[in-house]
Amino acid sequence: MSDGQSRPTNDAQIVVSGLSKQYRNVLAVNNLSFTVEPGRVTGFLGPNGAGKTTTLRMLLNLVTPTAGTATIGGRRYPELAEPLRHVGAVLEASSAHKGRTGINHLRVISAAAGLPRQRADEALALVGLTPAAKRKFKGYSLGMKQRLGIAAAMLGDPRVLILDEPANGLDPEGIRWMRGFLKGLAAEGRTVLVSSHLLSEMQLLADDVVIIAAGQLVRQGPVDQVIGSMAQGVRVRVRTPQAEALTSALAGGPARVQTDEHGALLIAGVDAPTVGRAALGAGVELHELTTERPDLERVFLELTAGKAGIR
Ligand SMILES: Nc1ncnc2c1ncn2[C@@H]1O[C@H](COP(=O)(O)OP(=O)(O)OP(=O)(O)O)[C@@H](O)[C@H]1O
């Protein structure tokens, strides 16, 4: 490949380095460093008040960092020559002039940014809103407003997309649409950074996660690796009226037995067939025998335990 054809792969990479934001009484973001790669969806996760929105706003130069830097393709946001062509952002449910139609809302933004007029139609089509193009914004549902916000972010055909809680207020069909849409953008080689509280959705959507708590990095990496790195891996869940007998039958081996708040046994260190055989051998009646794999929610809760968000 000639030099003219190859683009540096980090052209759309986000790099957050030693970033901090001190508000009057709160250190909202505390020496935070992480990277976000092109061609992948990265979930940005943290409990309430962890500093997610503040970080995204610093990336977009809407909040000035107290220390550190946040760059996109090696440049801080104000240094980008054509920001809308480089970065699209949806920070909160889209707001627009209530009496304006969807298409006119997009035309106003694209005109102000010097983008071609047809980009408004293209962006509206991209998010499936063409049938509602001429309806007024005040008649849009929350889901339609979210889509319009995304259409606005896509006007400049940006290589980097940053979204703060995009699934808020969406119905299941809307969430599924959003998942397919964002995965499609990443598959085109774009960088997609999404903050969310919906951990089960994130597990379906994200390739990588960045988890923060109390303004600090807790973990970053591919979702599978982050889940796999937990000390508590696969465990077996058992419900039985003879919990003591089963616990005794497993004693002396590698099994580690705990009881959950509903009285079920959570057994680590052995697999389900081993537990089943031990139960059979001891004549223990089983009402449930399930293998539980760690999911993003469990890992998130374990990693952020004790780092409550409200500060
Ligand atoms: N403009 C501000 N002035 C003072 N404190 C602020 C300001 N913005 C945010 N904070 C505080 O900074 C901390 C981080 O807030 P931030 O909104 O970034 O967290 P978050 O992770 O996005 O939370 P949530 O998930 O609840 O939206 C919180 O304690 C918040 O109260």
CA distance 237 to 259: 9
The pLDDT value recorded for residue 8 is: 44
Question: Which of 143 and 56 is assigned the larger pLDDT?
Answer: 56
Tell how far the Cα of 142 is from the centroid of ligand 1, in angstroms.
Answer: 23
Both tokens assigned to 193: 């950074």
Same structural domain for residues 180 and 274? Answer: no
The CATH number of whichever domain residue 281 belongs to comes to 3.30.70
The CB of 46 under 6 Å from ligand 1? The reply is yes
Do residues 7 and 39 lie in contact, with contact meaning Cβ atoms separated by under 8 Å?
no
Mean pLDDT of 263-269: 94
pLDDT of residue 98: 77
* Helix (H) or strand (E) run with residue 72 in it: strand 67-72
Mean pLDDT of the chain: 90
pLDDT of residue 121: 94
Which 8-state DSSP code applies to residue 242? T
Give residue 214's pLDDT. Answer: 92
Confirm or reject: Cβ of 311 under 6 Å from ligand 1: yes
Work out the average pLDDT over 20-25. Answer: 94
- My answer on whether 91 and 181 are in the same domain is yes
For the chain, give the percent of residues with pLDDT over 90.
Answer: 66
The answer to whether residues 65 and 205 belong to one domain is: yes
70 and 151 housed in the same domain = yes
Report the C-alpha gap between 42 and 55 in whole angstroms. Answer: 14
Number of structural domains in the chain: 2
Pairwise CA distance, residues 242 & 180, whole Å: 47
Question: Per residue in 69-119, pLDDT tens?
Answer: 999 999 999 999 888 889 999 987 556 677 889 999 999 999 988 889 899
Best probe residue, ligand 1, of 25, 48, 54 (max atoms within 8 Å of C-beta)? 54
Would you say residue 202 has pLDDT above 80? yes
- Rounded distance, CA 245 to CA 255, Å? 14
Whether residues 239 and 212 share a domain: the answer is: no
ipTM of the shown complex = 0.97
Are residues 239 and 128 part of one domain? no
Q: Which pLDDT belongs to residue 93?
A: 58
Per-residue pLDDT averaged across 268-275, rounded? 94
Give me the pLDDT at residue 141, please.
Answer: 87
Ligand 1 touching residue 21 (CB < 6 A): no
CATH number at residue 82: 3.40.50.300
pLDDT, one tens digit per residue, over 137-164 is 888 888 888 899 999 999 999 999 999 9
CB neighbour class for 310 (10 Å; exposed up to 12, middle 13-18, buried from 19): exposed
* 69 in the same domain as 123: yes
188 and 269 belong to one structural domain: no
Strands across the sheet containing 235-239: 256-259, 265-268, 235-239, 288-292
Q: How confident is the model at residue 248 (pLDDT cuts 50, 70, 90)?
A: very high
Instruction: Tokens for 204, please give them.
Output: 């379906």
Q: What is the average pLDDT across 216-220?
A: 95
pLDDT band at 231 (very low <50, low <70, confident <90, very high): low
Pocket flag, ligand 1, residue 28 (CB < 6 Å):
yes
Which residue type sits at 290? T
Return all residues near 115 (Cβ < 8 A) that are at least 6 apart: 84, 155, 156
- The encoded tokens of residue 188 equal 């085109």
> Which structural domain, as residue segments, surrounds residue 257?
235-292
- Reported confidence tier of residue 1, pLDDT bands at 50, 70, 90: very low
CA 149–ligand 1 middle distance (angstroms): 22
Q: Are 48 and 196 in contact (CB under 8 A)?
A: no
- Are the CB atoms for 195 and 36 separated by under 8 Å? no
Whether 78 and 36 share a structural domain = yes
Residue to mutate (ligand 1; options 52, 195, 199, 216; most atoms within 8 A of CB)? 52
Confidence of residue 5 (pLDDT cuts 50, 70, 90): very low
The mean pLDDT of 196-214, rounded to a whole number, is 92
pLDDT of 34 higher than 60: yes
Q: Please check whether residues 284 and 172 belong to one and the same domain.
A: no
Assigned domain for 121 exists: yes
97 or 49, greater pLDDT: 49
Closest ligand 1 atom to residue 56 Cα is: 18
The CA 46 to ligand 1 mean position distance, Å, reads 11
Residue 305 belongs to a domain: no
Same domain, 189 and 280: no
